[in-house]
Structures are given as structure tokens and as C-alpha cells.
Structure 1
Amino acid sequence: MSWIRHLHHLFHSHHCEHDVPTPWTRWLSISERPQLGTRQCPGSFVRHLFAGQLKAGRLFGEGTVRGERAALLLSVSLLLASCLLLPAPIQAGQLAIVIDDLGYQPLPLTFRTLPAEISISVLPDTPYATATSHEATRQQRDVLLHMPMEPNRAAPLERTTLTSRMAKAEFQQTLRQALRKVPDAFAVNNHMGSALTQNTQAMNWVMEVLAHQHLAFLDSRTTIHSVALTAAHTYQVPALKRHIFLDHQPTETFISQQLQRAIYQAQQQGAVIAIGHPHPVTLATLQNRLPTLAAEGITLVRLSALYAADQPPSGTTP
């Protein structure tokens, strides 16, 4: 069943339930795919319909659903008859974006033109770690420590990297020293770490430090076998997980596709966290694309806004 027919069925079901005659609605379907226009999820399409204009005593709306053009004509009398026929207000999806791997250079000037809701994550023991932390705070951004952790595969490691070979005292002291290099951090996320985030003991040691310093954790999710969120729950550390990587192929086309995936997921599940890197193409694509989020029912939010204090974090189930 196409989304057009599915939406027609939904409206028809409402009509039957409330004893409203079906002739009040009339669907016009245009079979050809549009060359222009943003593809919308059904919720966005319905919102667009009800934002239509009054024409000849009818409410008229049209839009695009998964590439199909459709139009709906509704009698104004029907809308006035019962508010029960109107869909419940749809809460805008939320998108949080974190830019990793900062600290080797000063915070790029491009950030001055990007929304303050975009968070940054700073590597410790980099030349500009502390300066970048302070500059991001001046820009009213959320700051994270991007803590290097042991990967599964052989790879060049940062000078300060948590590994499973460390004793507990060395491990936790290394983490505390890294936090001092990024003094404005409200949370920590892992750099690499596909091996260490599978290690329950190591993740418990991380969460013990974060709990003591009242910090949060973001699982960069470099492996599907991560136990970081489970450990965070044990130590009552607020924790979330990354949903989308934006730029592991640093091209405008790919980044735009990944951002669209993030938007679609946010429309479906309410909140999404995306991680990118300070590539010029990534920052330029965000500059161009972010102003269109509101039209797709998406609100750009601070990462810290997703750590709700009065309910379990949405990412606590791995």
C-alpha cells in the first residue's frame, strides 16, 4: 500500500469511527514523481496539509510523500464539526550534532557562523585543547572530552590513550589528567575504543570517575558490542549513544545523505545524535543545510538537552 493510499485509509477510518460521511474527503493522486520538493515522512505531510489555504469553502493541501505527489480536499465544515478528527500535535524531532577531533588547531573560524547548539569534542594532549575548550564555552557551546581508547585493530594511538593493559590506578589517573586538559567538558565520548568499550571492567573504571565528577557519557558507538551504556547505568552516569556518523566519506554528497538519514530518524524516533569531524566540507555542508531543518520539523538542540534529569536517558538500552 502506498503512503498516499495509507493516509487515505487513516482518514477514512477516522470518518467511520466518528460517523462522518466519507464524501467529505476527496483525494487527488498524481502518479508522476516530482522533480522538485523535499520528500517528507507522513507526519510532515499531514502537518503540511493542515497548514493549507481556504479555497472555495474547502481546505486544500498538497505535498510529497516518499516521492509521490498527492492533494487532499477537506470540507471546512468537517474540520469545524469535531476537533477529534484532527491529528494530535506532532512534536518536532530533535537533532544534536557533535564535532569530534578538535584540539590540534585553533577552533576553526567557521564555528562562529554555525549555531551554538553544535557541540564540540576535544582531544586531550593536543596543542590547543584547553584554548579550544575555553573558546567553545565563550561561544556558548557544549564541550566534551574526546577520550582516546584502545581500538580493536592496529592503528596509530594518541599520546594519551586508555588501554586494557593499564592498572586501575594508572587508568583512572590518565582519565582525570585528560579531563583537566579540557576543563569545560560536561561529558566524555570515546575516540576509537572499539576494544575498550567492550571491556566491562574498563568501562566500570571510566564510569566511576565520571560519577565522582558528575559528568555524562556519550558512547560514540564504534562497535555494536559496546558495554559502555550498561556500565553507565550501573554507576548512574547519564549516558546516550551516537546514531549517525556524518562524514566517514568526506564528500558533500555523502554528508548530505547522512544528514538526511539523521533527519528521517529524528522524525521517526524523536531524537538523534550525529557525530562529524572538522573537515572544511563537513562544516560548509552544515552551514548550507542546517537552515532548512525547521521546514522538515526538526529542531537543532544542544547535546546536553538530551540528558533528561527526570527520566532515564533514551540511550541506556544498548
Structure 2
Amino acid sequence: MLNIVLFKKTDRQLHDWFALFLSVLLTFLCLPVAAASVDPKIVLILDDIGIRYSDRQALALPKEVTFSILPDAPLTTELSELAHAQGRDIMLHMPMEPFDGQAMGPDGLKVGMYETQMEDLFDRALHSVPYAIGVNNHMGSRLTSLAAPMRTFMAMIKARNLFFIDSRTSAQTVAEETALDAGIPVARRHVFLDHVRTEAAMAREYARLLKLAREQGVAVAIAHPHPETLRFLQSKLPHLQAQGISLATVSDLFSPRPSMMTKQKRAEIPLAAPK
């Protein structure tokens, strides 16, 4: 009888020890996963490239900064070639109709165009921006708010194996939704860095960008090649890594180019209205 009791006590002790060991082991195994997930990144897209001769100064920025180049502008081809030679990601900054009637520039897509008209302009724009791997909208507050032309446009993007970044020039945009519905790799702009071109305003938006990156894991900013913006970025980006944040390319959002968001996840991500 005594031997049986001792066996039961030993068995219970072994069970308790094994449970403790398993708990410690699982905690240890989870540590690398948690550490790997804490790797915030920002993606910086420089829009409106190709209009001014001063845009060449943007080539001095880190090569992770993406150039979104306007089609058929004075420096479109030159800056596409130079940026590509640096190994920089290049996007087509596709002009689209805004609400306020502002001039879009060459190759702009308008509400009411036939599909063939849109396709001809899109192909012309892509031809003028060699090496483009994705598209974001230039202006476009009116066009991106309408589902029908956006569905047509997303079908064109899908057929050419490109991704789309919604610049979110209007809170009414449906561009991201239609891209998701079409099964296109898609992401959105979270911050306009230089909507107000003062040092103080850009510093506030930059701080908000870093905060969003820490909260979400990744945050996307759009800026422009204004001299004051370039000076600001040249002063800030060299110190980014010391703040525990990486500067990623836009193509890093899509590896190996799946959608950044699935339909199941879209409701979990807050809609970022323009700031």
C-alpha cells in the first residue's frame, strides 16, 4: 500500500514539473516571435515628380524613398531613368479628375470617359514613365469617389500586374475598396507630410507618421519635392533608425505582392481621412 501511495505522489510531482517546464518553454519560444513583430516601418512616396528642374534634388534622398512620377511632364523620362539607375522604386502618378476643376496635366482621366479612352490614356501615361511598378492617384477626388470608373481602372491595373496606393485626396474615396474587390495589391496613404509647408507643420505630421508606424507596424506618407520638404527630409531621415524605425520601399508593402489588406481585415483598419 505504501509503495502505491509513493508512486501516486511521484506521478503527480512529475506531472506538475512537466506542466511548469512546458509553460516556460512556450514562453521562451514566443519571445523571438514577439521581438520580430516589433519592427515598425515607414514608407515615403514623393509625388509630383517631373515638373520642375529642382525635382532633380530629390535624387539625393535615400533610395528607399519612392518616386511617383507624373506622365508626360518635362522631366518625366529623365527622372525615371535616373531613379531606376539608383535602384529606386518608381510609380506612375496618374492624373484623375478632382472636385474643384483644377487642371490635371497631361493624360488625365475624367468622369464619363469611355473605357477605351481611359485605357488609351493609361497606356500612354505608363509608356512615358518607364519602370513603373505601381500607381497612385494625382488629384482625383471626384473620380476616386465613383465606383464605376474605379472598377474599370482597377481592371486595367490588374491586367498589367501593378499595385495601387490610394492617395486619399478625399474621404469619399472608394479606390481602395474597388482595388480590394478586384484582387489588386493595395495600400493607403496615412499622412500628407507637407500639406502645410512650414517646419513646424511638417514636424507635427512627421511625428504623427512615426506614431502610426509604431501602432500599426507600417505607415505610408506622401510628400512632394518642394525645396523646404527636401531640406526637412534630409534633416530627419538619417536619424530614423536611431528611433527604432526603418525606412522601407513601397514594394516592401507587397511581399511577394499580396494585398496589404484582405477583405476580412479592412474593417479593422481605421479610415484615414486627409489631413
Task: State the TM-score bracket (shorter-chain normalisation).
Answer: 0.7 to 0.9
Q: Relative to 1, partners in 2 of residues 1:142 and 1:311: Cα closer, same or farther, differing over 3 Å?
A: closer
Alignment partner of 1:92 out of 27, 30, 39: 39
State how 1:151-300 maps to structure 2 within 5 Å: 151-300=98-247
Q: Is the 8 A contact 2:43 2:65 kept in 1?
A: yes
Alignment partner of 2:256 out of 288, 292, 309: 309
Q: Could you say what secondary structure the match of 2:111 adopts?
A: coil
Q: Is the 8 A contact 2:183 2:259 kept in 1?
A: no
Deviation at 1:267, TM superposition (A): 0.5
Q: Which has the higher contact order (CA 8 A, sep 6+)?
A: 2
Deviation at 1:188, TM superposition (A): 0.6
Separation in structure 1 between the aligned mates of residue 62 and residue 262 of structure 2, nearest angstrom: 24
Aligned to 2:63: 116
Deviates more, 1:144-153 or 1:154-163: 154-163
Q: Is the 8 A contact 1:98 1:118 kept in 2?
A: yes
Separation in structure 1 between the aligned mates of residue 173 and residue 262 of structure 2, nearest angstrom: 12
Percent identical among aligned pairs is 37
Aligned to 1:8: none
Q: Give the total of aligned pairs.
A: 238
Deviation at 1:113, TM superposition (A): 2.9
Q: Could you say what secondary structure the match of 1:170 adopts?
A: helix
Q: Is the 8 A contact 2:184 2:259 kept in 1?
A: no
Separation in structure 2 between the aligned mates of residue 261 and residue 315 of structure 1, nearest angstrom: 25
Separation in structure 2 between the aligned mates of residue 107 and residue 145 of structure 1, nearest angstrom: 19
Separation in structure 2 between the aligned mates of residue 116 and residue 315 of structure 1, nearest angstrom: 29
Deviation at 1:109, TM superposition (A): 4.3
Separation in structure 2 between the aligned mates of residue 249 and residue 276 of structure 1, nearest angstrom: 11
Amino acid at match of 2:70: L
More helix by share: 2
Q: Could you say what secondary structure the match of 1:120 adopts?
A: strand
Alignment partner of 1:133 out of 80, 83, 86: 80
CA-based RMSD: 2.3
Q: Could you say what secondary structure the match of 1:254 adopts?
A: helix
Separation in structure 2 between the aligned mates of residue 109 and residue 131 of structure 1, nearest angstrom: 9
Deviates more, 1:186-195 or 1:206-215: 206-215
Deviations 1:233-264 (A, max 9, x none): 23221111100000011112211211111001
What TM-score do the two structures reach when normalised by structure 2? 0.80
Deviation at 1:310, TM superposition (A): 6.7
Q: Which runs of 5+ in 1 are unaligned?
A: 1-81
Q: Is the 8 A contact 2:185 2:257 kept in 1?
A: no
What TM-score do the two structures reach when normalised by structure 1? 0.70
Q: Which runs of 5+ in 2 are unaligned?
A: 1-26
Deviations 1:153-187 (A, max 9, x none): 23233132101121111111111111111021100
Deviation at 1:315, TM superposition (A): 7.9
Q: Is the 8 A contact 2:144 2:173 kept in 1?
A: yes
Deviation at 1:152, TM superposition (A): 1.2
Separation in structure 2 between the aligned mates of residue 269 and residue 229 of structure 1, nearest angstrom: 18
Separation in structure 1 between the aligned mates of residue 258 and residue 112 of structure 2, nearest angstrom: 36
Deviations 1:184-221 (A, max 9, x none): 11001001111100111111111111111111111001
